């Protein structure tokens, strides 16, 4: 673990074995942190807060730029470690690291751009303004699917705003986080950044309930997000929750077939479908449904499944066997209810080790199936026909989630209806799953609270204060006695 500027085993008497999901071999170990370790990390972060918040914004910006440059200097090593630890192919982790580097640079500049605003005063002789101030210690609880990217989306704006952080990485992927902190954060004052490795009950929950941690930033499942919310509610903490999704894609009859096939395959199968914004429900106009299904199955069947370190691999393993089994169970239930698997859905015979599952294309589905209602988080593309665009929008909205939604069309009238009527935090038209540093990312409905990226992502880590200053002073006629 990394606490108060140094690496330590802390109070941990046990370790976590970190496994390569492509080979099932042990990569290394990390301490199994305890509530005492969380206490030490929070105490260090609290001590560092006053100094860090008073550090001039230009100096904080320089420090964040230095983080970005140091990550770039170790880019290839971090990409390889990410691939070994989490499983994504090298090209996907290369992109993740680029995003990490650029996120620190982006918030380095945004953090010194503004601190508030001057507002019109109610009367002459008065001065009114709004300032934004850091909260203090931010608890960052990070998932395994994008361990460095989703850390950067929290850590960079939190630090830019003047907060300090305590990071609890996933127990499945702690090594890449520790490595990044080791190589990129050694110039930061002790206590500004801390890492406690461990499991949720022993490390995550003590962080959530700690009275000196006013902000919790979490990315993960709806169930864990609800648990965090229930623990934090009595303490009135600021919560930033990016939770699950069941993202739809609608494909209009005017679409260019190759673009739609390849765009959908990317949106549904990147990181073996283990993305909160993965396309998990697809609605295709009935006039092109047969042709589209065949061409998609043909394309998906030719994708290369294998170890992410090997050149030419398109899709890597799932993170662990229990996640694969969940996907297989959803597929089995759907088939029993009348669905048809056109391609994939099986464990590949040529890969005897690793948690691989051949990407599946499924037809004959409907909204009575778990495959179309619950988050799958795996390499499955279920296709369902629709008659008209009213039905497509109704189907897209038929979910408790609202993280993202995609549309493939050249018809501007359909585009306008889609982004106005579909309830989701991000709408993609013809280019799914892309992000923009200046564009806020987050969900509606049960998909969470708050936003990452953009000015909104920085505002999440600052509290608002209104200052009312009567420059002239003097007794007011509306004071007592009446």
d(CA 115, CA 110) in angstroms, rounded, equals 10
The answer to whether the beta carbons of residues 94 and 79 sit under 8 Å apart is yes
At 85 the three-state DSSP class reads helix
* d(C-alpha 458, C-alpha 421), whole Å: 28
Alpha helices (runs of H) in 185-320, residue ranges in sequence order: 205-209, 222-232, 257-269, 289-301
| Half-sphere exposure in the Cβ direction for 47 (13 Å, CA) | 13
Indicate which residue of 96, 276, 280, 328 is catalytic: 276
Establish whether 242 is a catalytic residue: yes
Catalytic one among 85, 242, 375, 460?
242
Pairing mode, strands 401-402 and 404-408: unpaired
Backbone phi, psi, residue 370, to 5°: -60, -30
Tokens read off for 356: 């691989």
Signed CA dihedral, 21, 27, 140, 100: sign only: negative
**Contact between 161 and 457 (Cβ < 8 Å):** no
Torsion from C-alpha of 337, 343, 344, 346, nearest 10 degrees: 60
Q: What is the dihedral of CA 314, 289, 338, 394, to 10 degrees?
A: 100
Spatial separation of the C-alpha atoms in residues 278 and 271, rounded to whole Å: 9
Partners of 405 in the β-ladder: 427
Number of H helices, E strands in the chain: 14, 22
Answer whether 149's CB lies under 8 Å from 39's CB: no
Q: Hey, what are 97's tokens?
A: 């690291």
Residue 276 annotated to the active site:
yes
Give φ, ψ of 141 to 5 degrees.
-110, 115
Task: Tell which phi-psi region holds residue 442, choosing left (phi > 0), alpha (psi between -120 and 50) or beta.
Answer: left
Please give the positions annotated as active site: 242, 276
């Amino acid at each position: 673990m990394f606490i108060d500027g140094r690496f330590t085993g802390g109070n941990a008497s046990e370790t976590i074995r970190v496994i390569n999901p492509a080979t099932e071999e042990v990569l290394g170990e990390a301490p199994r942190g305890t509530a005492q370790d969380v206490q030490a990390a929070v105490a260090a972060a609290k001590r560092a807060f006053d100094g860090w918040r008073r550090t001039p914004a230009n100096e904080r910006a320089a420090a964040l730029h230095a983080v970005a440059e140091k990550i770039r200097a170790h880019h290839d090593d971090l990409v390889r470690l990410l691939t070994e630890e989490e499983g994504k192919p090298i090209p996907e982790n290369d992109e993740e690291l680029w995003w990490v580097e650029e996120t620190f640079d982006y918030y380095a500049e945004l953090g010194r751009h503004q601190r508030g605003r001057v507002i019109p005063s109610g009367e002459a002789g008065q001065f009114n303004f709004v300032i934004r101030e850091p909260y203090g210690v931010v608890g960052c609880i990070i998932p395994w699917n994008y361990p460095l990217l989703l850390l950067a989306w929290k850590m960079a704006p939190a630090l830019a705003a003047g907060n300090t952080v305590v990071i609890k990485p996933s127990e499945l992927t702690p090594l890449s986080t520790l490595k990044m902190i080791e190589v990129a954060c050694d110039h930061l004052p002790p206590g500004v950044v801390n890492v406690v490795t461990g499991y949720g009950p022993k490390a995550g929950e003590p962080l959530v309930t700690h009275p000196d941690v006013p902000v919790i930033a979490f990315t993960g499942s709806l169930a864990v997000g609800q648990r965090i919310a229930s623990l934090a509610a009595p303490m009135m903490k600021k919560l930033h929750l990016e939770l699950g999704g069941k993202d739809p894609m609608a494909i209009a009859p005017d679409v260019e077939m190759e673009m739609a096939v390849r765009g959908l395959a990317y949106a549904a199968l990147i990181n073996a479908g283990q993305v909160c914004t993965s396309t998990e429900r697809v609605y295709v106009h009935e006039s092109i449904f047969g042709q589209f299904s065949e061409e998609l199955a043909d394309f998906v069947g030719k994708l290369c499944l294998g170890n992410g370190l090997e050149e030419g691999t398109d899709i890597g393993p799932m993170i662990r066997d229990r996640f694969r089994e969940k996907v297989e169970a959803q597929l089995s239930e759907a088939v029993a209810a009348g669905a048809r698997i056109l391609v994939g859905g099986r464990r590949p015979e040529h890969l005897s080790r690793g948690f691989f599952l051949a990407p599946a294309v499924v037809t004959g589905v409907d909204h009575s199936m778990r495959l179309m209602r619950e988050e799958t988080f795996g390499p499955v593309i279920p296709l369902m026909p629709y008659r008209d665009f009213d039905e497509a929008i109704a189907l897209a909205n038929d979910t408790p989630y609202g993280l993202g939604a995609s549309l493939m069309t050249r018809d501007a009238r359909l585009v306008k209806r889609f982004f106005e009527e579909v309830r989701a935090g991000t709408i993609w038209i013809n280019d799914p799953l892309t992000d923009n540093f200046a564009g806020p990312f987050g969900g509606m409905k049960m998909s969470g609270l708050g936003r990452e990226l953009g000015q909104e992502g920085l505002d999440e880590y600052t509290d608002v204060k209104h200052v009312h200053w009567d420059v002239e002073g003097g007794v007011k006629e509306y004071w007592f006695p009446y």
